[in-house]
Amino acid sequence: MHKALIAQGILSLSSPPDRAETMAGDLVEEARTRGGLWLAGALVGVSAAMFFHAFGAARARTLARLGLGLAVWFAVYVATRVVGALLGLQPLVIDARSVAELPLGTLLYLGGLLMLSNFVTGLVLGRGSAVGGMNPVMPLAMFWASTAVIALCADVSSGTSTWFCTLLYVGGLPTLYIAPLLLGGMLAARTTPSFGLGASR
Amino acid sequence: MSPKQRFAYNVGHMSRTANLGEFEQIVLLAIMRLGDDAYGVTIREEIQKRTGRSTAPGALYTTLDRLEQKGFVVSRLGEPTPERGGRAKRYYSVSAQGVDAVERAQRSFQSLLEGLHILRKKHA
């Protein structure tokens, strides 16, 4: 039951609620013989396929939603950073090369700010109308995911990658950016009648 | 009919009758074979059984969505079942328009195969 609920929640980010429900049921039914790992892979594959399907059907609206998402995220992040600097919690400008040398407390605080700004962005965007059947946070989530993959590849191929950067791309972007954004989007969608997680027949 | 008129006729005819891709034909034929029991899991199994081709769930769902938008398949919701975590099945059936589209696509293939004798050569 929990697997189905989680699967439906994930799929409802990239497809309309009624479709998400039936697809989640199909995947959970097949996962009984194929296992949990197959289910996880299938969820990622179906979500990506449905995202690109919706993107193909509404390119301009998806890109507009991505632009709006970036603007909201940037505004929230800058506001929290300025407030933090005014309160003396962190320096306003941080040299990217010296991030790894910051005290652990400041690093955790900055990570928290990133999570908060993405969560708030998810809450704001998630209340909007669906784009081609997908949750409005999906364009920004896919943008962050693409950024992580491209940045990791560029970093590794340059031959100057550091443990800090690799950790940031592999673990940081999914944890600090994508997960809170999707969580905010899902919570906002639950409170918006037209885009809830429940079955709609 | 002049070449200009023939071109206009062909373009008009093509826009009225959406063409089917290979995978779309496979999905439509699998749904037809399954009859009343055609839903995501059984369609994938039927394709695997008949063609030996393993289909990604994402590819199947986007194709079903596209076929439904084109009016070639219609879907209805079944009852929720416990082995599916209480989620309903979405059953698909091929519309008359879908049957026409498959027939048209098959006729095109037959027409292209005519006179080539490739199948006979292989079995000889």
The pLDDT tens digits of the residues spanning A158-191 come to 877 777 778 888 888 899 999 999 999 988 877 7
Q: Are residues B89 and A27, on separate chains, in Cβ contact within 8 Å?
A: no
> What is residue A201's predicted lDDT score, i.e. its pLDDT?
36
Sign of CA dihedral A135, A141, A145, A150: positive
Whether residue B8 has pLDDT greater than 70: no
Q: Are residues B62 and A8, on separate chains, in Cβ contact within 8 Å?
A: no
Q: Which residues, in sequence order, are bridge partners of residue B77?
A: B90
Q: How far is CA A77 from CA A66, A70, A116, A153, A193, in A?
A: 16, 10, 8, 26, 28
B92 to chain A: closest CA residue: A22
The overall average pLDDT reported for chain B is 85
The segments of chain A whose pLDDT lies below 70 read 1, 96-97, 192-201
Whole-prediction pTM? 0.77
Structure tokens at A41: 């892979």
Structure tokens at A38: 């197959």
φ, ψ of residue B89 to 5 degrees: the values are: -95, 150
Nearest to B89 among A1, A3, A25 (CB): A25
- Asked if ipTM goes beyond 0.90, one says no
The C-alpha atoms of residue B43 and residue B37 are separated, in whole angstroms, by 9
- The amino acid present at A98, given as its one-letter code, is S
Number of helical (H) and strand (E) elements in chain A, helices listed first: 8, 0
The C-alpha atoms of residue A172 and residue B39 are separated, in whole angstroms, by 39
Whether residue B17 has pLDDT greater than 60: no
The C-alpha atoms of residue A175 and residue A72 are separated, in whole angstroms, by 19
As a three-state string, the secondary structure of B27-63 is: HHHHHHHHHHHCCHHHHHHHHHHHHCCCCCHHHHHHH
DSSP E strands in A76-159: the ranges are: none
Q: At what angle do helices B40-51 and A17-34 cross, to 10 degrees?
A: 50
Q: Are residues B57 and A29, on separate chains, in Cβ contact within 8 Å?
A: no
Q: Are residues B58 and A48, on separate chains, in Cβ contact within 8 Å?
A: yes
Q: B76 and chain A: CB distance < 8 Å anywhere?
A: no
The C-alpha atoms of residue A200 and residue B101 are separated, in whole angstroms, by 31
B77 three-state secondary structure: strand
- Taking contacts as CB-CB distances below 8 angstroms, the residues of chain B near A32 are 83
Q: A97 and chain B: CB distance < 8 Å anywhere?
A: no
Structure tokens at A150: 């491209």
Give CA angle at A50 (B35, A34), nearest 5°.
65
> What is residue A167's predicted lDDT score, i.e. its pLDDT?
83
Q: Are residues A1 and B85, on separate chains, in Cβ contact within 8 Å?
A: yes
- The amino acid present at A26, given as its one-letter code, is D
B75 three-state secondary structure: strand
Q: What is the mean pLDDT of residues B90-105?
A: 95
Structure tokens at A185: 């989007």
Q: Are residues B89 and A53, on separate chains, in Cβ contact within 8 Å?
A: no
pLDDT class for B16, splitting at 50, 70, 90?
very low
